[in-house]
Chain A
Amino acid sequence: AQSVTQLDSHVSVSEGTPVLLRCNYSSSYSPSLFWYVQHPNKGLQLLLKYTSAATLVKGINGFEAEFKKSETSFHLTKPSAHMSDAAEYFCVVILPYGQNFVFGPGTRLSVLP
């Protein structure tokens, strides 16, 4: 079975400071991992995805994530938060069958001026 844990339901940072959103997974397979962002009242947008080509994955809007197999983690980071980064972030793992993404519960990021 596969599951995704997002350790923080809410993270608050000041504008210009680093962002760290944590994600851990459990999987009996080599995982495929994604981060999606959802702005208020909007659909989900793909930030980045891990495809096993490189452990450090760069995404849109300055975000990146590092796959660490030994820690079963795929944490999302950004060096400097912007007000427009305030949103809900979902870590996602793919099941190898059944055509399904498994979503974490989400982390709400607030950015303070």
Chain B
Amino acid sequence: DAGITQSPRHKVTETGTPVTLRCHQTENHRYMYWYRQDPGHGLRLIHYSYGVKDTDKGEVSDGYSVSRSKTEDFLLTLESATSSQTSVYFCAISESGVTSRNTIYFGEGSWLTVV
């Protein structure tokens, strides 16, 4: 298995509070991604990073921010959590981006409940 650690794995938080999810990799891969998984939607991309301090938005980026100060860490922040952000969040990594010659590896997920 690829060395991807997500923390926390489970969290319950109140509406309006800030939340940060951490993804840590030991593979030295350039690309890192945050996805959310919701029933009936598969996985949807929130943000991704293509290098230290280089990030870009995905299709569902509203309400989320990210930071990558080191190759191994990619942080996802919900500035003010809302109930619609209750979801399972997956971090993923790839060596050289999304191509058919490459593979994306996923972490085991972080379950976030906003009450």
Within 8 A of A (CB), among B60-100: 90, 97-100
**CB-based nearest A residue for B94:** A99
B12 lies within 8 A of chain A by Cβ: no
- Chain B: residues with Cβ within 8 Å of the partner, total of 26
Q: By the criterion CB–CB under 8 Å, are A103 and B99 in contact? A: no
> B43 to nearest A CB, angstroms?
5
- Chain A: residues with Cβ within 8 Å of the partner, total of 25
Known: A43-B109, A100-B59. A51 touches B90 (CB 8 A): no
Within 8 A of B (CB), among A19-77: 32, 36, 41-46, 49-52
- 15 residue pairs of the A-B complex, CB under 8 angstroms, read A43-B108, A43-B109, A44-B90, A49-B103, A94-B100, A98-B56, A99-B48, A100-B45, A100-B58, A101-B45, A101-B98, A101-B104, A103-B44, A105-B41, A106-B42
